[in-house]
Chains A and B, each alone.
Chain A
Amino acid sequence: MIINRRDFLKASAGAAAMAALYGCASGSSKASGHVLVVGGGYGGATVAKYLRMWSQGNVEVTLVERDAEFISCPISNLVIGGLKTLADITVSYDNLKNKWGVRVIEDEVTGIDAVSRKVKLEKGGELSYDRLVLSPGVDFLWEQLPGLKSAEAQRRILHAWKAGPQTVALRKQLEDMKDGGVYAITIPRAPYRCPPGPYERACLVANYFKTAKPRSKVLILDANEDVQSKKALFMKAWADLYPDILEYRPNNELRDVDVAGRTAILEFDRVKADVLNVIPPQRAGQIAATTGLKLINKRWVDVDWLSMEAIGTPGVHVLGDAIFPAPTMPKSGHMANQHGKLAAAAILNLLAGEEPNPDPVLMNTCYSFVDGKNGIHVASVHQYDTATKTMQPVKGAGGVSAARNELEGKAALGWAQNIWADMLA
């Protein structure tokens, strides 16, 4: 199936409505061509919408996403903690299709030919492109945990590190657990998706146990030597809110799992849990990691920060968790959304025969909940540095919350509503 221009235009919304959405033209409106985006998550949905918006509909955009709906990882820890439902974190692709004229195809990309500029689809057929954007997120290095290799093992010992059925299943395991049980969560060595995410999840499970199963315990088994994000704020929350419930053990790297015994096999120890939640070690999503792009540490794609283009593979841009991050840059949804806008601007320049903006800026804020109401944040601003050819954090900017507070619990929910709209509305 090759999608031609006429089909594409038929799928787009009416011209007058589009012009009203786009507002006034600026430099990039000279761009035209077809951009194919793989993955409709934080990076991919953003780049798809912004390419349509900023080109005033002149650039055709096709988005291939294997799932029917977007389900957010941010806020999914509140579902696991029993404070939100899966419906609360699910957003449809309808606005991308109908309002922005993005052609959304529910399928999986299985191969890339960067020379003839085509990709292969799982359900059959090919799509051609002028520029390709990959935002596939992460995949797991199951080979490092032999006991979890089978699909059956992965159904019993959950990660819930991609939101969806696993999120609901982990919630169910916690509900089914007897009072007095142990929930253990294992954290891989950094870098992994969402540095504060595991600590937030531990807080929200402890928050659930505190009222519903007060004799139960939360055990964090961290491969790293220390808490990876917002350390002082998390440690204070644990000491103040969950002193008899939550225990943190650094330098405890998971080596394997005894699935039948629900036991984490560590270097020097074995820990049996009633609910064992394993966050496996990660690398760039399959389609970015196994299609010949240059990787760093065999895991993450090396990109040019002025365009998000993969180093050595012109025409292929990579965003989000799949890339080798710039100094202090986290793998976050907020950051993937920012990559999407940097890439959209650069792609429009390149399609118009112009150089990309030489001074891009990215910023990040990750909110975490420490209980049902109180939030904390970490923020940073990153400016392009010509000497090191990478994004560098601005000294003196950014930082963490002074203390946990309810205002930031509200801000975290407001952030989610606004970033989902920024991607998908």
Chain B
Amino acid sequence: MKLPPLLAAICLTGAAVSASAADPDLGRNLAATCASCHGTNGKAVPGAGMDALAGMEKEKLLQKLKDFKSGTKPATVMQQISKGYTDEQMDRIAAYFAAQN
């Protein structure tokens, strides 16, 4: 299945920007582990009470995860989940969600 030209062009630009990553799918794969609760690509089901992550600014998302890890942001489960990922992995996850719209 071919992408329409305009979309293909946007995609190419996107790929060029993130070309520094060794495996371009790594952030996607890691972020997919969060989707079971926060929705596919971070688009949570509206009204179901889980926060959407799609389109959240990268630095903001990373700060929240840091605050979960340190315990300054009160949480039921994120304080435990956030400790399971390395800083590098979290960086990729945050970049992936920030790029979703």
- Chain B residues contacting A425 (CB-CB under 8 Å) are 40, 45
Q: How far is the CB of B96 from chain A (nearest CB, A)?
A: 10
Q: How far is the CB of B25 from chain A (nearest CB, A)?
A: 5
B-side residues, CB < 8 A to A, are 1-4, 7-8, 10-11, 14-15, 23-26, 28-30, 32-33, 35-41, 44-45, 48-50, 76-77, 80-85, 89, 100
Is B3 a contact partner of A56 (Cβ separation < 8 A)?
yes
- Chain A residues contacting B49 (CB-CB under 8 Å) are 410-411, 413-414
In A339-369, the 8 Å CB interface with B consists of: 341-342, 345, 349, 357, 359-363, 365
Report the Cα distance A77→B36, complex, angstroms: 20
Report the Cα distance A407→B23, complex, angstroms: 38
Of the candidate stretches A159-167, A254-262, A415-423, the one touching chain B is A415-423
- Chain A residues contacting B84 (CB-CB under 8 Å) are 361, 363, 380-383, 394, 397-398
For the complex, is A16 an interface residue (Cβ under 8 Å from B)? yes
**A contact residues, total (Cβ < 8 Å):** 59
Report the Cα distance A28→B23, complex, angstroms: 10
Residue from B3, B25, B81 in contact with A27 in the complex, judged by beta carbons closer than 8 Å: B25
Task: Provide the main secondary structure of the chain B interface.
Answer: helix
Q: How far is the CB of B90 from chain A (nearest CB, A)?
A: 11
What residue in chain B is nearest A24 (Cβ atoms)?
B11
Residue from B50, B80, B89 in contact with A398 in the complex, judged by beta carbons closer than 8 Å: B80
Q: How far is the CB of B9 from chain A (nearest CB, A)?
A: 10
A-side residues, CB < 8 A to B, are 12, 15-16, 18-20, 23-28, 49-50, 53-54, 56-58, 334, 337-338, 341-342, 345, 349, 357, 359-363, 365, 377, 379-383, 394, 396-399, 401, 405, 407-408, 410-411, 413-415, 417-419, 421-422, 425
Report the Cα distance A292→B71, complex, angstroms: 49
9 contacts between A and B (CB under 8 A): A12-B1, A54-B25, A57-B1, A341-B29, A381-B81, A398-B83, A415-B37, A417-B45, A417-B48
